[in-house]
Chains A and B, each alone.
Chain A
Amino acid sequence: MSKSESKSGGSKAKQKDKEKDLKRHFKLSHQLVSLTGINFQRQSIIGYSELTIIPLKDNLRYIYLNAKQIRVYKILLNNTYEVQFQYFDPFLEVYQTDENNDKKSLDNFSPAHLKAAQATDSDRGLGELLLLFPEETWPLFQEGRPLKVGIEFSLEEPKAGLHFVIPEGEGSLAERGAHMFTSGYANSSRLWFPCVDTFSEPCPWRFEFTVDESMIAVASGELLEVVYTPDMRRKTFYYSITVPTAAPHIGLAVGPFEVFVDPTMHEVTHFCLPGLMPILKTSVKYMHESFEFYEETLSARYPYSCYKQVFVEQAVEDVRPYATMGLMSTYLLHGPPIIDQVYLTRKAMAQAIAEQFFGCFITMERWSDLWLCHGIATYLTGLYTKKCFGDNEYLDYIHLEMQDIVKYEQEMGGIVLDPSQAPAPLPTTQDTENSLSGHHHHHHHKHGKSHGGPQANSPVFQFPIGSVHTLSPKYFEIMRKKSHLIIRMLEQRIGHELLLQVFNKQLVLATTASQQKMYNISSVNAWSHMTISTTVFAKAVFTVSGKDMESFIDSWVRTQGHAHFSLQFVFNRKRNTVELEIRQEKVGNSGIRRYMGPLVVALQELDGTFKHTLQIEGNVARADLTCHSKSRRNKKKKIPLCTGEEVDMDLSAMDPESPVLWVRIDPEMTLIRANKVQQPDYMWQYQLRHERDVTAQSEAIVALEMYATPACRLALTDTIENEQTYIRVRLRAAHCLTKIANAMVSSWAGPPAMLAIFRKLFGSFSCPHVVRQNDFTNLQLYFLQKTIPVAMAGLRNAHGICPPEVIRFLLDLFRFNDNSKNRFSDNYYRAALVEALGATITPTVSMLTSKSGGITSESLTGETKLVVEEITRCLNLEKLLPCYKMQVTVACLGAIRKLQKFGHIPSSPAIFRSYSSYGQCQDVRLAGLRALIDYQRVDGTAEDLEFLLDIAENDQEPRIRHEVVRMLIDTPPFELASGSSVDAPALASRLWNNINQNLHFDSKLRCDFVDLYYALYGMRRPLCYTENFALSKLATKREAEGDLAPDGDIKRARLSPVLMEENQIVECVTVEIEAKDQPQIPPPKIDSNYFSDNSQSLPGMSGNSQGPTGFLPGMFKEEGSGDKHGKEDSKSSKSKKKKKDKKKHKHKHKHHKHRSKDASREGKHSRPDSPATPSNNKEETLSSGSSSPSQASQDVTF
């Protein structure tokens, strides 16, 4: 941080000479936290904390601690000297705008945001609380001599970090089930006690919590004793944790919990709210198995002496692991008749336990090592789910995770797991660099330099990735998934056993370390093995396996993005070879990087599966693979599969010349990649029918969506009926069959798709049209029974409406639903039926007439009326006989919203508002809010949006606040610069104030709001601040009609790629430090540029309008330095520029060709729910433009 920066940051007080040594100058050897007054009425706590620190230098004159939203009364050193302190929290105003609306852009905000986070980062030796030791104490500071810092503090009505749940009603607090618990996000212990709030500073702890006589305090550590206070009305819980633990892993829950000691493992105690004991017992029945599994797998003991699970209401996340305890959502509990929840609950509990090993016990050294803890813990959880739910479930899970990563990275940008260090400049990365700059799309980011390492390849996001307090929660979530897959990839490279040995080694080292004591300077590093970092881990891998994984880590952990392969092939009959071509066309697109290295291609031939390992070296790789088998005609012979099984196949569909049945890339998922294999439909059908790998089956189903043929229909039907097939594949096949049937509507013969299957499986013996009494003991059939009606509801006849036959079928399912003989609850099944009814709804034909006259119940057509009646009935019944988690209500709300949206009933938010209000069950609230947000997008006014934002800002449940914002991001109330009436300066200011000031206490929510700001306004100043915004709205409209934009704008659009190119090179070539330290002057151009935002929205221009779409957050930031260095670098940039120009030409050429396809492409590739309106088009180019620099090339390569 430079001096100039500090001015804008406003942290003058603590600047001084801090820059030179950004680290803590003391070690923490012990901490005591004592909360003496936990007051539920006033939602306050009074406490005392004592930190034992060991100075690392003699002249320690001040230290920083972390403390937020707490009031510090007094600080004493060694119980004698009073210490002066200062408090400063940069998040109180992240970026000082002086109410200048022009500056309220994320471009400005992002760097300031990171700076604020770093200004309180304990790993940089900083914090909110500055303790200035008085002169008389200076002699006490001798290197290595422990000192005690005692802090008296209080906390009132905390807004985050600690959450109080106090239900209204009669009776004492305990009778009402009032409780409180820690709810901070990431390292947020500072929100409830002063501490060194980082993962890298573990120490032993002691706790004392004095609570009401009727309450129990559950906290991290071992409960030593419980003692009454002298007045006998309260009691004090004494906890101690001897294993060094980092402050963020300290958790606490206080409430009138019911206690259940695990009958199998007495060290494990479960806690739930009063009244839930029966279902608690059911839910935790098999939890001990995961303990046993982990201990066995890691051949290491569970590191702590006890474990507690506390189920609380209004939990922020389903699972929040703390040292020795897991804080879980009460909504994870389930009784014996519930099916679907079991999978989630077991996994959640297993996750919490895995994180005890990696996460709590072994923690990360820095934020950039987070991936290791997350990755290993999730990997272990994955192994447990594999054991618990089977191989197919596991493979499918991995496959889905991969898809999530690919989707996110392509939308938002590539994730770098460890941004602290750039990948070594191997030829690989060098090449990547070149190719990236060659494509000129890749923009280098300067935010993420949290640890001073060069930041060569971090992608552009609307948020800085340098600190967890600035990260998008979504990014955080996907990063966990990616970490998991990377660990799994490592397993594939070094082997399962060896990887477990690496884990074991870490655990053994950490266990040894944890038994050490820290007394003085000689032992300050005693606990260094408690933390893990990328480097340490890589070394451990090398020690154990003898394999140097440095390049693997460089290319997957320190480099962003995933690989993207398109495979094409032809069979050469003469030479009996398959001529393959694998392209990496999209390299440089958002989230996609070039992959170099081995790639496995599996050919399924008539004589078996043959794997070929190809070496990928460039963007295009070609190979001729010799087939091992000859084509044969009419010869009956069993065909061996990859599993070794031999099966009969009907080979009549295949090319008689070729022995190739299907081709797969990277079948073992050894890379994080997206695949696009081009093979004829019959090959996909063979793959679906006969390939044993569930991921291959799933991929085949996705591919078959494009082929609406009777053969495909048959393949899918057979798959649905095939009991040998993994159930989720069968479910996917059902949904795919819906699409196929709809595409084949003109030639479809016979009853609606899947009707016959359903009747065969679930119809009564004597009368197939009456569904059997429910019996869910066969879970596969259960899932089919739930899914087929939903899939069938998606069917449409030639008029585009759901066939009446299907609606009648669904209504009959309702009518004949009989669960009286079932051992399991049918709540999810009934919810699925309601969902199916909702899915039958299509837009009314009489939209116009009904709009003019108001929609009444008379305007309902026959079938719709029945649907409405059924939904009403279900919803009403649920009030009297609520089902588990009110799933039926949730489905009903969705269906009602759909009826509203399609004009069958009047669109109104009133109902949803009542369901989304406080006091409803969490799932119901979310369903209500989802409907409201959908309403907002279609008919919402500014007041409606205010209602939602009120919830997002002030709701009592933190999770609801978070989810509302996430849903608003997914379904924004208006598109970027679409000229919506809701898009007003007041709204922008409100959001800005939230991210800039109001949400200083809640990093997660603040980052959510940053994402929302980005979704609504992009990186730059919100357009609504423009004085002639109305005018530009008009312009938008005109453009939509096809008028030409003013010439100047087009010119600017053309120019900007060059501009950007220069910038990029500047950035690559100039010394990094300089770039970093430059004051972030907002580009003067930005203000005048707002108009081009609109002009580029021309629908036809999207192809070559790479200029504006390429505007990136950091693009103009270096304008100042760019000018300075422009000359020096002009030479180097010129050559590139030329290349660039050539490329652009090419783009244009191709664009013509593919323009004609535009319509169809849009239909397929744009988000399915968004109509291809010009405004929408713009949104896509703009928003993805700023995160994915190469929208244009994406278009071209298509």
Chain B
Amino acid sequence: MAEHRTVLGVCLGALLTEAGFDAVDNIAYETMLEVLTSFMISTGNTARNYCELAGRVQPVVGDLVMTYADLGIDLRGIERYARRQQRLVLPALGVGSAPRPITILQAGSKLPHPSHIPEHLPAFPDPHAYIRTPTHKQPVTEYEALREKAAAQKRDIERALTKFVAKTGDTQSLFTTDDVNIFPLVACKPHPQPFLDALMPKDQVFDEEDEDLELQPPPKRVKRGLDLSQNTDKDSDADDSTPPSSPPECPDSQSEVGKEILQAEKISSEDPIDNPYLQAVKKPHKYI
């Protein structure tokens, strides 16, 4: 509708100019535009009625004549009016913009007609409509691109997050003179128990299963030990009989230790540990 209104608006302007107006009030313009629109609509409707009555699909001039007669519009002089000298020629409408390609999901390329089908018959629909529907694009498998993408994504998230925090909270700046927003630093806040954040970091979530892994070292770790020489025993036992490169928090004897701990736990579940700190607090009977 909007395009029609625009075109009609332009026509209206042309008519008014021809009639000798220089300017038009907005309200008058709108009113006239409405009148014109309504006139065109009733013209069209009536014309279609006539043509359909005659069993046609497209109106012909006769239909229009009948229409105008019906509407009570005198057509005399219209020929002269059409041929008038000083009529304005409207510029061609922006054709390029008007026909937007219909956005149909194009999946796959359409098959050409086989030889026995004449060319004027409609083309085949998309293959997905009758052969199969590919549900996903072939993913990018190139490692480098993936890493790039992952890195970019992560960075974007982080940037957005820090920016948000920087904008909503106190900031500090590395520069004294110019805008504070150039390199905003989120201000640091004192914490009543600073060690909690520092010792229980939240930067990464590690699987709980790690604990279990340590109790039962995967065979993988033993294999890894083979490619290390004894001269590299930075983290391993001097004892050669054990795999030399166990991570520090699970030294070589971990399997034994694990067993020990398991045993210990078993014991503890069987009989209570005799530790004074686990004893119940006594009632002050002696002191009353």
Contacts and interface: CB of A to CB of B under 8 A. Distances in A.
Nearest to A330: B195
Nearest to A858: B178
B125 interface: no
A725 B232 contact: yes
Interface string A726-739: 11100000000000
A389 B190 CA distance: 38
B177 A920 contact: no
B231 interface: yes
B261 interface: yes
A905 interface: yes
A482 interface: no
B140 interface: no
A724 B231 contact: yes
A767 B200 contact: no
A908 B232 contact: no
B175 A276 contact: no
Given A818-B147, A876-B186, A269 B233 contact: no
Interface stretch (A94-102, A228-236, A672-680, A1020-1028): A228-236
A391 B239 CA distance: 10
Contact of B194 (A261, A279, A389, A919): A919
B236 interface: yes
A872 B183 contact: yes
- The CB with the most chain A CB atoms within 10 A, among B161, B184, B265, B277, is that of B277
A263 B206 CA distance: 24
A286 interface: yes
Contact of A857 (B175, B201, B214): B175
A259 B278 contact: yes
B249 A342 contact: yes
Given A225-B282, A767-B143, A921 B198 contact: yes
A263 B265 contact: yes
Interface residues of B, number: 90
B74 interface: no
B71 interface: no
Contacts of B204: 337, 819, 825-826, 881
B176 A854 contact: yes
B162 to A, nearest CB: 4
A569 interface: no
Given A868-B183, A873-B162, A313 B193 contact: yes
Contacts of A610: none
Given A390-B236, A727-B234, A883-B201, A275 B190 contact: no
Given A392-B234, A724-B229, A726-B232, A764 B144 contact: yes
Nearest to B143: A766
A342 B248 contact: yes
Contact of B166 (A278, A334, A876, A920): A876
Interface stretch (B6-14, B76-84, B89-97, B267-275): B267-275
A229 B282 CA distance: 10
Contacts of A229: 284, 287
A880 interface: yes
A856 B192 CA distance: 35
A386 B238 contact: yes
A336 interface: yes
B18 interface: no
A226 B281 contact: yes
Nearest to A271: B277
A1049 to B, nearest CB: 45
Interface string B239-267: 10000010111010100010011001100
B288 A269 contact: no
B277 A261 contact: yes
A780 B245 CA distance: 9
Contacts of B281: 226-228, 235
B232 A724 contact: yes
B147 A816 contact: yes
B203 interface: yes
Contacts of B232: 392, 723-727, 780
B244 to A, nearest CB: 8
Interface in A240-295: 259, 261, 263-264, 266-267, 269, 273, 275-276, 278-279, 282, 285-286, 289
Interface residues of A, number: 118
B97 to A, nearest CB: 42
B249 A285 contact: yes
Contacts of B53: none
Nearest to B164: A880
Contact of A276 (B200, B253, B284): B200
Interface in A324-350: 330-331, 333-339, 342-343, 346
Contacts of A923: 198
B287 A230 contact: yes
Most buried by B among A333, A818, A876: A876
A343 B247 CA distance: 11
Nearest to A769: B144
B47 to A, nearest CB: 68
Contacts of A905: 174-175
Contacts of B234: 389-390, 392-393, 726-728, 779-780, 783
A767 B283 contact: no
B190 A920 contact: yes
Interface in B96-134: none
Interface in B128-155: 142-144, 147-148, 150-151, 154-155
A235 B277 CA distance: 13
B247 A779 contact: yes
B78 to A, nearest CB: 71
Contacts of A216: 277
Contact of B261 (A263, A346, A767): A263
A216 B279 CA distance: 13
A778 interface: yes
Interface stretch (A651-659, A910-918, A1111-1119): A910-918
B183 A825 contact: no
Given A876-B185, A885-B199, A223 B178 contact: no
A833 to B, nearest CB: 14
A339 B174 contact: no
A589 B227 CA distance: 49
Given A286-B251, A857-B182, A911-B172, A269 B275 contact: yes
Contacts of A129: none
Nearest to B262: A263
A9 B247 CA distance: 58
A331 B195 CA distance: 7
A449 B100 CA distance: 102
Nearest to A820: B204
A369 interface: no
Interface string B198-227: 111111101000110110000001001001
B157 to A, nearest CB: 10
A882 B198 contact: yes
A856 B188 contact: no
Contact of A780 (B151, B198, B228, B286): B228
B156 to A, nearest CB: 12
A1155 B182 CA distance: 52
B148 to A, nearest CB: 8
Contact of B235 (A389, A724, A725, A914): A389
B187 interface: yes
16 contacts: A259-B277, A261-B277, A289-B257, A336-B211, A387-B239, A390-B235, A391-B233, A764-B144, A765-B143, A766-B142, A778-B224, A815-B155, A856-B177, A881-B201, A914-B172, A920-B190
Given A225-B279, A879-B186, 5 more contacts: A227-B283, A261-B278, A388-B237, A390-B238, A905-B175
Interface of B: 142-144, 147-148, 150-151, 154-155, 158-159, 161-162, 165-166, 172, 174-179, 182-204, 206, 210-211, 213-214, 221, 224, 227-229, 231-239, 245, 247-249, 251, 253, 257, 260-261, 264-265, 268, 273-279, 281-284, 286-288
Return the 5 tightest CB-CB contacts between A and B, nearest first: A919-B190, A390-B233, A167-B192, A223-B276, A921-B198
